[in-house]
Amino acid sequence: MGEEVKSKRLVEIVLDDASIGRATPDIEHERAVAIFDLIEENSFCPVGDESGPYKLLLSVVDSKLVFDISTEKDERVVMHVLSLSPFKKIIKDYFLICESYYDAIRSSSPQQIEAIDMGRRGIHNEGSQTLSDRLGGKIEIDFQTARRLFTLICVLHWRG
C-alpha cells in the first residue's frame, strides 16, 4: 500500500454516545462489525485535504448527520453536516427488512432467508449510494466504505 493510499483512510471511528439509541444485540453486532470492517479497509478523504489518515466522529444533532473529521493527531480538518431527510425512508425500510431477516434466521428455510437477504442488501445498497451522492464534492469514499458508513448511520438513527 503506497503512502498516498495509507493517508486517504480512516484509522479511528467514534460514534457519539449521546446520539446512539438503545439497540438490540443484533444492531450492536452490526455496529461492531461495520466499525471493524471500516478500520480494516476503507477509502476516505475530505476533498482537497492531504493531511490523513483521519479520525471520524459520527453523531446526530437536531436530525442532522455530523461528520466531524480530524487527523490522526487530533487536528480538526472539517465538519460536514447532512440532512437525514433523504435517508429516513431508506433507514426505516432497512430496519423493517432487518427485523424480517433476523426472524427468518431463527425459523425459515434457507431459500426464504436468501430472498429476504437479497432485499436487505438491495436497500443497503440504495442507502450507500444515497450517502455517496450526498458526500459528493465533500468526502471521497469508495462504495464499500459507503456501505459500512451507511450501517453506522442506521445504528445512530436507531431508537429501538
Write out the three cell numbers for 80: 460536514
110 burial type by CB count under 10 A (0-12 exposed, 13-18 middle, 19+ buried): exposed
Please, what's the b/e burial string for 22-52 (b: 16 or more CB within 10 A of its CB; e: otherwise)?
A: ebeeebeebbeebbeebeeebebbbeebeeb
pLDDT in tens, 79-125: 999 999 999 999 999 989 988 998 999 999 999 999 999 999 999 99
The pTM of this model reads: 0.86
Cα separation, 2 vs 151, in Å, equals 28
pLDDT averaged per 10 residues, the chain (length 160): 75 84 73 88 95 94 93 96 94 91 92 94 96 97 94 72
> Domain limits of the chain?
3-157
Give backbone dihedrals phi and psi of 23, rounded to 5 degrees, phi first.
Answer: -130, 155
Cα separation, 108 vs 110, in Å, equals 7
